[in-house]
Amino acid sequence: MNNPVKNSTYNNDWYRREIGASRFKQVCWYLVNAIFFINALIPSSSLKRFFLRLFGARIGSGVVLKPGINIKYPWKLSIGNFSWVGERVWIDNLASVEIGDNVCLSQGAILLTGNHDFTKVSFDLMVKKIILEDGVWIGATAMVCPGVTCASHAVLSAGSVATQDLAAYKIYQGNPALFVKERVIQ
* CA–CA separation, 138 and 66 (whole Å): 15
pTM: 0.91
- Identify the band that residue 10 occupies on the pLDDT scale cut at 50, 70 and 90: low
Span 119-176, pLDDT tens digits: 888 778 889 999 999 999 999 999 999 999 999 999 999 999 999 999 999 999 999 9
- Identify the band that residue 58 occupies on the pLDDT scale cut at 50, 70 and 90: very high
Q: Give the model's pLDDT for residue 12.
A: 60
**Burial letters 3-24, b for 16+ CB under 10 A, else e:** eeeeeeeeeeeeeeeebebeee
Are 83 and 65 within 8 A, CB to CB? no
Domains of the chain from N-terminus onward: 14-172 (2.160.10.10)
Span 74-119, pLDDT tens digits: 999 999 999 999 999 999 999 999 999 999 999 999 999 998 888 8
Peptide bond into 176 cis (omega under 30): yes
Half-sphere exposure of 115 (CA within 13 A, CB side): 14
Question: At a CB cut-off of 8 Å and minimum separation 6, what does 20 contact?
Answer: 73, 75, 76
